[in-house]
């Protein structure tokens, strides 16, 4: 985010290669009170047909970004472009963006059919065409038989489908979703994740999806933008985000994560040797550390921790650990360990036939592939 983005040319055409996206946030800033910034210098380019998720804790600025894109908030500075056109001053009803709201926002005084007809009526569409489109949209979400029901007569999941159908019925090229699955139970949520993903694929629409649920973000997205403190912390495909977090915020926010603070002992190319506070040496991949002697936080996923020497690559360091607790979770066993003086190191073991049994109090040695331990900034 540090590189300088070029200004507009004479005729409003930008010259930057990154700015050819379908949706572009160009140096966007947002302040509500004139004192602090909620969104700090946001630069983001979303390709046509992409499924992009804005992920972050509440107050991170992700919803504000979505609202600016939808037109309900104005950018304090910078430019938002949709299909090459600056939409800063375009009112929301002229943007032609479909939107699914957190609590569905289905109009309670209208039937499902009337709800879906609404965007078509305000576009002056004829009755026959309208009915054909409504039927198609309802069939798309498997709710064809519900056109005459009122929203209050539907379950949460059904309302969710109708809200989805309503956002899609007028064929928008871009659909925004503001935590649409937040109010559903876990099972339904997972089911709807797949349905939304399939709709996205079959319709070829661009989706900008806001959530604070990292599982949802990883499952559905082409790319995920992790927000914190008004800034994008990392913008990457889900696998990269999980396996190669850029900084300690992303590492902590996405998935479960063990943190080991230490000092860089040796740094050579893509390998680093880190000395922990208690004196042990561990292997790591340097991510945003630059010099020897620097303080660092090494991040390791619990499922990448090994305790059998034969599974370790040759020459890898192993350190002492004490088993504190073994929690049976069905598919996995969660082992809490004391490592380098801290009591919260977690290792996940697959619950396979003949898996080694660990008992509390037992002393073991653990290690990991250097690529799985990432030496990050100390945040």
Partner 1 sequence: MSDATSQLTTADGRPLKAALATAQARARRKAFFLVAPLLLFVLITFILPIGQMLTRSLYHDGFSAVTPNLGQWFAANPEGTEPDEAAFAALAADLAKMKADKTAGEAGTRMNYTVPGTRSLFTSTARGADKLQPPFKEALLAEDKKWGDPIIWASMRAASSPWTTDFYLIATDRQRTADGGIEKVPENERIYLWLFGKTFVLSGLITFICLLLAFPIAHLLATLPMAKANLLMILVLLPFWTSLLVRTTSWIVLLQGQGVVNNILVSLGIVGDDGRLAMIYNQTGTIIVMTHILLPFMVLPLYSVMRTIKPTYARAARSLGATSWTTFRRIYLPLTLPGIGAGALLVFILAVGYYITPALVGGADGQLISNLIQFHMSKSNWSLAAALSGMLLAGVLVLYWLYDRLIGIDKLKLG
The binding site for partner 1 (CB under 8 A) comprises 70-72, 91-99, 101-103, 105-109, 118-119, 122-123, 166-167, 170, 176
Least distance between partner 1 and beta carbon 159 (Å): 12
Q: Which CB atom, from 105 or from 324, has the smaller least distance to partner 1?
A: 105
Beta strands 258-268 and 295-300 are antiparallel
The smaller minimum CB distance to partner 1, of residues 171 and 270, is found at 171
DSSP 310: G
Number of C-beta neighbours around residue 100 at 10 A = 23
User: Which lies closer to partner 1 via its Cβ, residue 74 or residue 77?
Assistant: 74
- Nearest to partner 1 of 97, 267 (CB atom): 97
| Whether 166 contacts 118, CB under 8 Å | yes
Nearest to 343 by CA among 238, 224, 260: 260
* Nearest distance, CB of residue 162 and partner 1, angstroms: 12
Shortest Å distance, C-beta 102 to partner 1:
7
CB of 208 to partner 1, least distance (A): 13
Q: Which of 124, 127, 186, 189 is nearest to 161 (CA)?
A: 189
The total number of residues written for the chain in this structure: 379
Shortest reach from residue 105's CB to partner 1, in Å: 4
Token pair of 346 as six digits: 């977690």
Cβ distance to partner 1 smaller for residue 210 or 323:
210
Separation between Cα atoms, residue 107 and residue 304, nearest integer Å: 49
Please list the residues that pair with 346 across neighbouring strands: 336
Of 179 and 216, nearer to partner 1 (C-beta) is: 179
Nearest approach, Cβ of residue 95 and partner 1 (Å) = 8
**Encoded tokens for 373:** 């331990």
Residue 92 vs 215, nearer CB to partner 1: 92
Q: Of the two residues 69 and 218, which places its CB atom closer to partner 1 in the complex?
A: 69
Residue with tokens 């990292």: 214
Distances (CA, A) of 61 to 22, 53, 209, 216, 255: 21, 13, 13, 18, 21
Contact status, residue 300 vs residue 373, Cβ threshold 8 Å: yes
Q: Of 372, 317, 370, 366, whose CA–CA distance to 346 is shortest?
A: 366
Q: Provide the pairing of β-strand 77-82 with 23-30.
A: antiparallel
d(CA 181, CA 177): 9
**Coil vs helix vs strand at 354:** coil
- The rounded distance, in Å, linking the Cα atoms of 157 and 46 is 29
Task: In angstroms, give the least distance from the CB of 74 to partner 1.
Answer: 14
Q: Output the smallest distance, CB 168 to partner 1, in A.
A: 11
């Amino acid at each position: 985010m540090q590189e300088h983005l070029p200004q507009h040319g004479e005729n409003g055409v930008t010259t930057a290669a990154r700015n050819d996206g379908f949706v572009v946030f160009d140096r966007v800033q947002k302040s509500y009170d004139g004192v602090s910034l909620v969104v700090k210098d946001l630069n983001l380019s979303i390709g046509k047909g992409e499924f992009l998720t804005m992920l972050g804790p509440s107050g991170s600025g992700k919803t504000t970004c979505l609202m600016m894109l939808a037109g309900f908030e104005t950018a304090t500075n910078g430019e938002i472009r949709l299909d090459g056109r600056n939409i800063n001053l375009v009112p929301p009803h002229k943007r032609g963006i479909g939107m699914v709201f957190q609590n569905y926002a289905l109009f309670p005084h209208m039937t499902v059919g009337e709800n879906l007809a609404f965007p078509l009526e305000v576009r002056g569409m004829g009755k026959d065409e309208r009915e054909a489109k409504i039927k198609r949209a309802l069939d798309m979400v498997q709710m064809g038989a519900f056109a005459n029901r009122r929203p209050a007569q539907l379950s949460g999941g059904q309302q969710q489908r109708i809200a989805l159908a309503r956002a899609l019925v007028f064929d928008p090229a871009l659909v925004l979703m503001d935590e649409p699955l937040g109010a559903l139970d876990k099972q339904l949520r997972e089911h709807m994740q797949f349905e939304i993903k399939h709709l996205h694929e079959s319709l070829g629409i661009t989706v900008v999806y806001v959530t604070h649920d990292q599982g949802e973000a990883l499952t559905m997205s082409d790319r995920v933008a992790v927000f914190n403190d008004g800034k994008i912390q990392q913008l990457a495909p889900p696998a990269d985000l999980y396996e190669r977090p850029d900084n300690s915020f992303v590492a902590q926010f996405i998935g479960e994560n063990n943190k080991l603070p230490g000092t860089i002992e040796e740094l050579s190319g893509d390998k680093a040797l880190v000395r922990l506070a208690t004196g042990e040496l561990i292997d790591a991949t340097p991510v945003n550390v630059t010099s020897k002697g620097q303080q660092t936080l090494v991040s390791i996923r619990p499922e990448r921790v090994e305790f059998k020497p034969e599974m370790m690559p040759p020459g890898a360091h192993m350190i002492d650990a004490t088993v504190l607790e073994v929690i049976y979770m069905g598919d996995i066993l969660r082992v809490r360990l004391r490592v380098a003086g801290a009591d919260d190191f977690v290792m996940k073991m697959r619950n396979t036939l003949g898996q080694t049994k660990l008992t509390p109090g037992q002393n073991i040695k653990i290690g990991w592939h250097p690529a799985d331990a990432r030496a990050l900034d100390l945040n």
